[in-house]
Amino acid sequence: MGRLGTVDPSSYSQPDLITTEHSVLNWKVDFAATKLQGSVVHRFNVLSSNLEKILLDVRDINVTNATLLAGGSELPINYFISDPVNDIGQKLTLELPAGTAKGSLNVRIDYETSSSASGLQWLNPTQTLGKQHPYMFSQCQAIHARSVVPCQDTPAVKFTYDAVIEHPTELTALMSAIIDKKQPGKTHFKQEVPIPAYLVAIAIGRLVSRPLGENSNVWAEEAIVDACAEEFSETATMLKTASDLCGPYVWKQYDLLVMPPSFPFGGMENPCLTFVTPTLLAGDKSLADVVAHEIAHSWTGNLVTNKNFEHFWLNEGFTVFVESKIVGRMQGAKELDFKMLSNLTDLQECLRTQLSGTPELTKLVVDLSNCGPDDAFSSVPYIKGSTFLRYLEDLLGGPTVFEPFLRDYLKKYAYKSIETNDFKSALYDYFKDTEQKDQLSVVDWDLWLTSEGMPPILPKFDESLSNVTTGLAKLWSNETVSKLSDNSDIKQTISIHQLIDFLGKLIESKDIVDLNEDKIELLESTYKLKQSKNAEVRFRLNRLIIRARLLGRLEEIIEFANSNFRMKFCRPIYRDLAAWPEAKPAAIRNFVKVKDQMMTVCSHTIEKDLGLKTI
């Protein structure tokens, strides 16, 4: 495919020549046709004299008109759409009049989305909890905003937006913005903080809310909203802790929307309205750390944004780093270190499986010239990135030295989009007149940014909680069932997070003695795994059942895979099934049956995992 643009390899837009400053969205939501119909008015800032054309990103969008708005008059302009590039989209070219000057320029585009837009998910009533009303939601990261609105779909460009949404009167419309005005069947929104296109978000359904704090609510369908409010009751504390770390919260509102099970991610940091997966509802708040992660994005990612997805670690590595600090302040330093060590177990598994054939994608800064961001998505930027930051923090003198720098960095680049070199220059600039300056000369930037595999240097962590899980994993992998039954060590009390980590380490064990039905049943009874509501526990149990090749429990495995389409869970399950010859045909049959219920980002990657698609 090659690089589509000089600023962003995955976008045709030319932010060095023209940038979007403000967009006005007018959408009518058509559930029958599964389309958004309407228009967008973009106010551009033209940076180049005599600009001849505007290039925007689209994907399967039907444009009906393009109009230049100037001084009260409307001038139709020519437009054309290029042939599609697989998994990327198309180029919309808008021809401008000769002599277009620098400065402000307003263009209206009338259009409708495809009925199968990659960034939209439409659920019929039977797919919802209430079973009475349809539901729709968006997921625009990384490059799916172009399937929802013609735009400069690159994080290099940030803009404010207003929106007017027409929708069925009995349904509630929510967006990544503040509700400005509500009328029957029509909701007005305003987002006054500039955001990249991937943070434009919408959800419409039969939704109700419960308060979580002064400027915070949780939204969900009626059947689960009270359970959601209980599960996420610590949200206000997390938000306060994050503000103490990172600086003022600029987005006014922080709401959560608990999504249907087909939502492909653990969470999505849409401003003012974080989307979260229902798989977080464990009943004991044990998975609510995902909310800490999404809250952290309010600064790292949403306020300071990667310029393109080759530098995705600037979004996600920083966010995991801040998330772990929120956990540390709320639960203690041991839990912080245990969390970071557990992340490294997950990274090891990702490198061994998902990225085994693409070592170039295990670098911290990747080359996306011939690879879409969806295909490059992995835990590398999250975990390798946060490990690098912890290494720098320890090198420079610990949290008391590094946290003031973090606040300064976030203030310096607030409302901007940056690359790794910008972070590096901020770091050197901050410490240039301090005793830490010499320590920075030790950092091998090339090693950290371009080496493949695990982090080149592992910081020193408190391993007390992790040693317990390592010991248990060794015990269960090395001992027979009869010896384990008589061993009191397996009865020791461990936390839910230790249980998750232990199961993950057991999966990573090279050899497991006697991995059969008896061992799985002993594991289940010892740790009450069958009774667990915790999706992370159930996910790891199912992977161990696959590894034990228990064909009689295949139905149970597929039932879990169908219970949610969160990619963190369903992709490894399908990958494991694909490597099990007796189970692979059933896995493919099931996938074909349910793939239309998945979002494109999920079905597209699982097709590759199953070997059904190669490009």
Q: Has 269 been labeled as part of a binding site?
A: yes
Residue 457 sits at the vertex; the CA angle it makes with 454 and 461, to the nearest 5 degrees, is: 100
Q: Is residue 42 classed exposed, middle or buried when 0-12, 13-18 and 19+ CB atoms within 10 A define those classes?
A: buried
- The answer to whether residues 586 and 574 touch, using CB atoms and an 8 Å cutoff, is no
Q: Is residue 599 marked as binding?
A: no
Q: How many CB atoms lie within 10 A of CB 272?
A: 24
**Residue 328's CB: how many other CB atoms inside 10 A?**
18
**Is 259 within any annotated ligand binding site?**
no
Burial of 72 (0-12, 13-18, 19+ CB in 10 A): exposed
Chain length of the chain: 615
Name the nearest CA neighbour of 149 among 12, 18, 40, 8. Answer: 40
Is 266 annotated in a binding site? The answer is yes
d(CA 148, CA 59): 8
Residue 316 marked as a ligand binder: yes
Task: Name the one residue in this structure whose structure tokens are 């999966």.
Answer: 507
Query: Which of 362, 384, 347, 406 has the alpha carbon at shortest distance from 459?
Result: 384
Distance, CA of 281 to CA of 269 (rounded, Å): 18
> Is position 265 annotated in a ligand binding site?
yes
Find the angle CA(377)-CA(61)-CA(311) to the nearest 5 degrees.
Answer: 25
Tell whether residue 44 is among the known ligand binding residues. Answer: no
Query: Hey, is 226 helix, strand or coil?
Result: helix
- DSSP helix/strand/coil, 595: helix
Token pair 């003012």: residue: 272
Starting at the edge strand found earlier in the chain, the sheet holding 255-258 runs 208-213, 216-220, 255-258, 273-276, 267-268
Compute the C-alpha angle 131/137/141, nearest 5°. Answer: 150
604 is in an annotated binding site: no
- Tell whether residue 112 is among the known ligand binding residues: no
Q: Is 139 annotated as a binding residue?
A: yes
Q: Answer yes or no: is 268 a known binding residue.
A: yes
- Residue 126 CB: number of other CB atoms within 10 A? 8
- Helix (DSSP H) and strand (DSSP E) numbers for the chain: 20, 22
> For residues 336 and 389, what is the distance between their CA atoms, to the nearest angstrom?
14
Per the listing, tokens 């009689």 go with 552
Is 568 labelled a binding residue? yes
Is 570 within any annotated ligand binding site? Answer: no
Torsion of CA 152, 155, 160, 162, to 10 degrees: 60
Residue 352 neighbours by CB under 8 Å, 6+ apart = 508
What is the rounded CA–CA span in Å between residue 446 and residue 284? 43
**Active site positions, annotated:** 294, 382
Is 436 assigned to a binding site?
no
Q: Within 10 Å of residue 425's Cβ, how many Cβ atoms?
A: 12
Give the residue carrying structure tokens 């263009």: 107
Which residues define the annotated binding site for a peptide? Answer: 139-141, 264-269, 566-568
Which residues define the annotated binding site for Zn(2+)? Answer: 293, 297, 316
